[in-house]
Amino acid sequence: MTAPKPPLKAHLINSFAHSRGPVNRLRARRYGLDVIAGTPPAVEFYYEPGDTHSHLAAQLLPALEEALSVPLRIFIVLQEESGIYPEIERQQWFALLDAQRIAPAMGLTMPTAAAPVSVSERLSACRLLLPHTGDIKAFLRAEREIASRLFAGEPLTLDGAQPEAETAKQLAANAARRMRLGHYLPAMWQFNGEWFWAVDRFPLLLERLKERSLLRGNVPTLTWQTDRAELGASPDPQQPLEFFYSFRSPYSYLAAVQLQRLLPRIKRPVAIRPVLPMAMRGFTVPLAKRLYILRDTAREAAQLDIPFGFACDPIGAGAMRCLKTFPLATDTQQQLDFLVSASRAAWSEGIDLASDAGLRLAAERAGLNWHEVEARLNGDDIVYAEKNREALFAAGFWGVPSFRLGEFGTWGRDRLWMIEELLRRSDTLE
């Protein structure tokens, strides 16, 4: 069965996903005035005190400032729970663990005995750091001292702190600028309207700067030595690798393709555990988040040689029909084949999975029988998906893609390398 040509809407989404944000670019460059003047854009870094990934990324500032031929500006922000940043407590606990795991692999430092930082202490840190944002060296000296106290749970003294009212005004302005330029998270780099997250996207930021010949002398590097990551004990070879997945998640699509490629080399059981999309579980996913995810996924997909961009969002009936179909897959290979086939339809071919024609194409490409699929669609049994969600939350996670391997768990496609490293350490990866 041949895939139909993507509709006009899918073409528009593809064009957006692969653009670098012309509107954001104009906003980042004073609505185009410095474009006319021929002035190169600045690099901006959005830092939140007490945010572990902000702390790791801040350690890259000295080398970056030394190499840059354009200004480097720091914006302090403060994050609170919202539709854009849900389950903040879970996210902060995971971010703490995640930073402790990856810091040794990149030659960075992160306290091993640390706990999430309260909002009041983060606000106090903002008051102390804001006066130093105009001087990178002074900011780094203050950041190191303040971060060590924050993560150790020690109270901050407010000598030299900016007044509360002025701090509130500046934080609001920084948050508004970040949102106007199309983002919502801390630990973000912004250059010419394009966004790069923490240490993970720092190499891509450097690529963009090289494209514009804006780096001089010793160009910063970030070396990943996965064997140095703090991942805990090697898991028992008999424990399954669990993969939590959503048909509505573009990052899950990339992870599913990567896992599909890796599967023939894995010498342990693999359990595929789809869940209901967050937006169908009562979470709101605001526009700024959806737009960034599209662009970021497109960049990552290009590096992984995975087709992406001609999209038809499967939220609602499309995702529900895929969840009903999934149990028909007879083994791990076919389960992954169906995940990838359905996700490819939704995220790279503009195919509507809520339609019979769309779902049939996705199912038959994975070797499933359409008549059996039709019979499943008449029922409403997706209890397994709720059990998977409960297991996801029990593991300490809130969203997908997530992975669990024995006592070890991690969230995000960017952390699949940890799973590969653990498989190597347990001698279950060929």
Residue 414, amino acid: D
Segment-wise mean pLDDT, segments of 10 residues, the chain, 430 residues: 77 81 68 59 96 97 94 93 69 93 96 88 97 96 96 92 96 94 93 95 95 87 91 93 96 98 98 87 72 94 96 94 97 98 97 96 98 92 93 91 96 96 96
Treating both helix axes as pointing N-terminal to C-terminal, what angle do 416-425 and 250-262 enclose, rounded to 10 degrees?
Answer: 20
- DSSP state, residue 381: -
Dist CA 286 CA 83 (whole Å):
7
Tell me where in the chain the CATH 3.40.30.10 domain(s) lie: 40-211, 241-425
pLDDT the model gives residue 36: 56
Q: Which class does domain 241-425 fall in?
A: alpha beta
State whether CATH 3.40.30.10 applies to domain 40-211: yes
Residue 57 exposure: Cα atoms within 13 Å on the Cβ side: 26
> Which tokens go with 176?
């508004």
**Model pTM?**
0.93
Q: Return the pLDDT at 33.
A: 54
Amino acid at 374: E
Helix (H) or strand (E) holding 208: helix 202-211
For residues 236 and 127, give the distance between their C-alpha atoms in angstroms, rounded to a whole number: 48
